[in-house]
Amino acid sequence: NAFKFKGSRLRFTLEQDLIHPLEHHPKLQGMTLNQILLANLYALLYHYSGETDICLGITSSNRRYPGIDDKTTEKLVNCFFNS
83 residues of the chain, pLDDT tens digit each: 677 777 777 788 889 898 888 888 878 778 888 888 888 889 999 999 999 888 877 766 656 666 666 666 666 665 555 44
**Taking CA 59 as the corner, what is the angle to CA 80 and CA 70, rounded to the nearest 5 degrees?**
55
Q: Does the pTM exceed 0.95?
A: no
Closest CA to 7 of 45, 43, 56, 50: 56
Residues for the chain: how many in total? 83
Instruction: Return the percent helix, strand and coil in the chain, to nearest 5.
Output: 50, 0, 50
pLDDT of residue 83: 44
User: Residue 66, exposed/middle/buried by CB under 10 A (0-12, 13-18, 19+)?
Assistant: exposed
